Structures are given as structure tokens and as C-alpha cells.
Chain A
Amino acid sequence: MLTTQFLLLGAVLFCIGVYGVLARKNAVMVLMSIELILNSVNINLLAFSVRHGSVDGNTFALYIIAIAAAEVGVGLAMVLLIYRNRRTIALDDLSEMKG
């Protein structure tokens, strides 16, 4: 069935996203990787929605899209804040506090 391919795509996107979050040092790249995970979730939900023939998954995906936008708004504002205070957005430099 066609939905299997979509689920596979979702799983691959999820893995790429997780790898990006763990491996990337640039705050914006990490944000983009998180977006990848969220989109893999949306693909999953839509594929399952088609398979089950119910609208629950579509509704869930709409909520995720809207809330992800709000989240990224906050995230980019914080990255901007960091850039203003430090002139860099490398996450490795965030080490004022230790222990």
C-alpha cells in the first residue's frame, strides 16, 4: 500500500532530524533539524489518517503546524538575543555555567 512509503519517508526524516540536533553546532541548523522531526510527524499522521480513514490525524497535523510556527518564533528570537550579546550562535560557546 502507498501509505507504507510515506511512513518510511517519515522515519527517514525523523532520523535525519535527530542526527542534525545531536551533531550540529549552529543554533539555526539545530532549529531546522527540529523542524524536520516535526514534519516527519506530520507525514506520519497524514499517512495513518488515510490508512484509518479518519480525520483525527489531519486535525492533529494542523495543530502541530500552527504550534511549531509559534515555537520557531520564540526560538529565532532567542538566537537573535544570543547573537546580539555574543556575536556568535555556536552552541559550544554557551558554557557560562558548569557543574
Chain B
Amino acid sequence: MLSSILAQIPWQAPTIDYHAIAPEIVLAAGICLIILVDLFVSESKKWVTSTLTGFVMLTALVPVLTLAVSDNNVRSLFDGRYVIDEFALTVKALFLIAGYVVILMSQNHVEEGDYYLGEYFTLLLTSVTGMVMMASSRDLVSIFVALEMLSIPAYMLAAWRKRDRKSNEAGVKYYLLGVFASAIMLYGMSLLYGVTGTTLLSDIGRQLTVEGQFGGVQALAITFVIVGFAFKVSAVPFHTWAPDTYEGAPIPVTAFLSVASKAAGFVALVTLIYVGFPQAKDVWQPFLWVLAAITMTVGNLVALRQTNIVRMLAYSSISQGGFILMPLAVAGTGDAAGPALQSVVVYLIVYAAMNLGMFAVVIAASRTTRSGEISSFGGLFSYAPGLGVLMTIFLASLAGIPPLGGWIAKFTAFRAVLEAGGGWGYGIAVIGAINSVIAFGYYGSIMREIWMKPAPNGETSAVKTPSSLIAAMVITTAGTIVFGVLPGVVLRFGDLADLTGAFGR
């Protein structure tokens, strides 16, 4: 059977544009290099691996930049299964820079905890490679491979502190729910292949029936696939793993999961919706609308009563995910496709800067407080004014106060849903507006703690922050402030015409 099918198709090697996949090649070579280096350096020199990992990430950024300035805007490989366009390049750069910041944050944290340095950075790099692949994948198979490549190392990173019961629990919860979700997603993909006869997303988009006419199987397939990624972006009700995993995992890993892994989920969701299902908006629009509405609301309301700062940030990141979903829920209505895509990309970039920064400050401050309780951050400003001010900046940005980055992200999201208009658009805009106000409650309570309260046990010695952590904070603060003051810088990145073409307008 198989051989007779194969005999019909004369096989010829595809032509490969090596410039286009140079970032992936650099990363793959880097993974091998770091495993080898880790084998041969002595225990006291393991920090070399972290420096090397950072170097590999920045090297991979070079071809991304040369591709961005080259004349050839859209490079399509393997019959359109792997596409390098402006959207892909923008999010690739985002993943690489976010990965670099996480490495800066991890350096001292992992070293002092006496973890397995070389393996840690190898896995981190593998996960980033998966994300970079996800940005270009335009085929069900490559999306699946990229998803697993970014998830499997992340499961291991969450359970990194082997002897800590909380970390074990974090890893297992993440793993079981993650694998379950990807199994459901695969079932949806197999049905998609069944009804369209192809795994190429653009062909699926063409085959998936004309607008408004749907069999149950198509609807089921699309729903299952979206559920798989709703888990990845921790949308309510698929969020139950997120708070426990974020609390139990080492904090740099939490930062990585809440920013990079979540961004990868959104990138996949965007590619699927814009390239694969543009005709099927009657199925995914209401579904995403409900997801976005309850994700914002539940995330915010539960965040209000958290006492642990990492847990609170977990729920805050769930509700921010709702805001990123918000424009996607109306992406098929009217002319909203372009603004919706722009707002998702802009929100992801700004959110990466401010959330990574927030986690970097928490890591730095908890070197003295030695606790994750919000009350232990009392009086932070009095003994560590620098950290106090930075934390205030990031909190204000997360809450969406102008002129910081978070404000421009929220602005683009609301502009996109208002552009769509109609009952659905205005409805979600109202829910979003109410939620932005609720969010001030918990972000404000931390600010009050830092500025107004005295230090809990008279601990007022100055905080010593390692230089790599300072570098991470400088990068993220610069991002948060520059995107807010000069929104043109980041809005230009979101101005992507190539994906929206699939909607046929």
C-alpha cells in the first residue's frame, strides 16, 4: 500500500534556503556545543555554560536581523510548510531576547541553589529553539513538533529542584495536564487531516468549507485544536496547572513559562486562526470570546486574594493572557484582522518586557526577604530604593498606567476590539475595561506594601544584587519605558500585512 503510494510521487530533494533557517541552525549547533562543553569543564567552572548559552542566543539573533533587512520579505521553505515572514522574524527576535533575559536571571539563582547548571541551560536553549521553530511553522506536523520541543524541556525545568516536594508537584501537574492537552489537540489535528486531506495550514484554510457551512466534525476538530493551545496560554478553564507550577518551579523558570512559553502558545494560535481557519470564524470566534472573558475575570478575581507574590503574579499573568486573547476573539469581524494581529504582537512584546522585569525584581528582592509572601516586601523602598522604584514601574506598567509600556499594549487591544464593533466587540471591551480597574486592586496593594509599610522584622541591610540580574533589569526597564514613551517603536513591529492576507480582504 505504502510503497505503491510512494511510487507515484517521484521524490526530489527540496531546495533549502540556508540563510532563512540560519537562526535554527545556530541554536541547534549551540545545544550540541553546550552539552560537549558541560562534559569537559570542571565543577567550579560550570558558569561557562551560562555565558555560552547567552552568547548562542545573541548569535542566533544576528541572522534574524540580517533576514529582517534583506529585500526578500517572505521566504517559504518545504512547499510553504516553513515560512519566514515579518511576523515570524518579529516573534523569533522576541523569543531570543526573552530567552537571553531569562539566562541572565538564572545565572546566580541556579548556581547558588547548587542545581545542574549545564543541563539547565541546555534544556532552556532547546525550549527556545522549539519556540523559534513555532514562529515559522505553517503545517500541522511542524506545529506539533515545535510544540513538543518547547514543552518537554519546560516540564523538566519546572521540576528542577529534585528534592523539593513543591517543585516535584509543579513538574508533574504541568506535565500531566500538558500532555493531556496536546493529546486532545492531536485528536483535533487528525480530524482536521481527515476532513481536508492535507496537513498544510494554507490548504486546510482553503478546503475547510465555505463560510458559515459546517459539519460537526469540522467544528469539533477546530475546537479540540484550540483547546490544546488554550492550555498552553493558561486560559481559564484550562489554567489549573499554572498557579501551582509557577509557585513550585524555580523563579527564573516561572518567568520563562509565564512569558516565553505563553507567547509561543499565542503565536501558534495566531498562525492557526489566520492561516488555517480564516473561513471558520463562526466556530472559533464565540469560543475565544468566552475564553477571553472568563480568563480576564477569573484571573483577576482570584489574584485579589493571594498572599504569595509569585502566586499572585501567576494569576495576574492568566488575566493578562485574557487581554491578549481579547482582540483574537473578534479577529474575523469586519476589518479587525489587521489591528487584532498588531495588538497581539505588541502586547506579547510589551508583556515580555514588563513581566520578565517584575520577576527579576522579585528574585533580587527575595535574596534578602527569603520569602515569597507579599507582606515580607514591606518597606522595600526604605532599604533598597532602587528595587522599590523598579518594582513600582513594572507594577504600574502591568496595571496599564500611562506612559509605561503596558498602557500602549492595552490601548492597541481595546482599539482592535472597538474596530470590530458590534455586540461582541463592545461587549468584550466593557468586560476588559472593568477588569483593568479590578487589576489596580492587587497591583496597588503591593505598591502600598513597598512604599508605606515598615520592613517586617527590622531587616534593613542593603540588598546586594548580582551584576547579571542588574543587566536583566536594565534591559526590561528600558523596554518597558521606551515602548511606553515612544509607542511608534513597538507599533511598527506589529504592522504585519502578510498573515492577514488569508482573510481574503
Contacts and interface: CB of A to CB of B under 8 A. Distances in A.
A70 B176 contact: no
Given A44-B190, A70-B152, A94 B175 contact: no
Interface stretch (B140-148, B261-269, B333-341): B140-148
A60 interface: yes
Interface stretch (B68-76, B166-174, B355-363, B434-442): B166-174
Interface in B135-172: 140-141, 144-145, 148, 152, 155-156, 159, 162-163, 165-166, 168-172
Contacts of B152: 70-71, 74
Given A48-B190, A48-B194, A67-B144, A74 B175 contact: yes
B183 A37 contact: yes
B199 A97 contact: no
Contacts of A21: 176, 180
Interface string B228-271: 00000000000000011001100000000000000000000000
A46 B186 CA distance: 13
| Chain B contact residues: helix, strand, loop or mixed | helix
Interface residues of A, number: 47
B198 interface: yes
A47 to B, nearest CB: 8
Contact of B168 (A10, A40, A50, A81): A81
Given A59-B141, A71-B148, A37 B187 contact: yes
A8 interface: no
A55 B2 contact: yes
Contact of B198 (A56, A91, A96): A56
A56 B199 contact: yes
A41 B162 contact: no
Contact of A60 (B165, B193, B247): B193
B163 A75 contact: no
B5 interface: yes
Interface string A31-75: 100100110110011011011111111111001100100110011
B478 to A, nearest CB: 34
A83 B165 CA distance: 11
B156 A94 contact: no
Given A82-B168, A97-B247, A41 B176 contact: no
A7 B141 CA distance: 20
B148 A99 contact: no
B173 A44 contact: no
Contacts of A91: 172, 176
Interface centre among B1, B186, B243, B308 (most CB of A within 10 A): B186
Contacts of A97: 166, 169-170, 243-244, 247-248, 311
B286 interface: no
Given A71-B148, A78-B159, A44 B194 contact: yes
B179 A71 contact: yes
Interface centre among A34, A40, A45, A97 (most CB of B within 10 A): A97
B313 to A, nearest CB: 13
Nearest to B9: A55
A86 B201 CA distance: 45
Nearest to A37: B183
B197 interface: yes
B306 A99 contact: yes
Nearest to A59: B141
B169 to A, nearest CB: 5
A96 B165 CA distance: 8
B173 A94 contact: yes
B33 interface: no
A63 B243 CA distance: 31
A88 to B, nearest CB: 12
A81 B159 contact: yes
Interface centre among B9, B172, B248, B305 (most CB of A within 10 A): B172
Nearest to A21: B180
A74 to B, nearest CB: 6
B389 interface: no
B353 interface: no
Interface centre among A17, A38, A78 (most CB of B within 10 A): A78
A26 B3 CA distance: 42
B191 interface: yes
Contacts of A47: 194
A97 B244 CA distance: 6
Interface of B: 1-2, 5-6, 9, 140-141, 144-145, 148, 152, 155-156, 159, 162-163, 165-166, 168-173, 175-176, 179-180, 183-184, 186-187, 189-191, 193-194, 197-199, 243-244, 247-248, 302, 305-306, 308, 311
In the A-B complex, list the 8 residue pairs whose CB atoms are closest, starting with the nearest: A44-B190, A37-B183, A48-B194, A52-B197, A41-B186, A97-B244, A94-B169, A67-B148
Given A7-B194, A37-B184, A97-B311, 14 more contacts: A34-B176, A34-B179, A37-B187, A44-B191, A45-B190, A48-B193, A56-B141, A59-B141, A60-B144, A78-B159, A78-B171, A78-B172, A81-B159, A94-B173
19 contacts: A27-B172, A27-B176, A30-B176, A34-B176, A34-B183, A37-B186, A41-B186, A41-B189, A50-B1, A54-B198, A55-B6, A56-B198, A57-B199, A59-B141, A71-B179, A74-B175, A86-B168, A94-B173, A99-B305
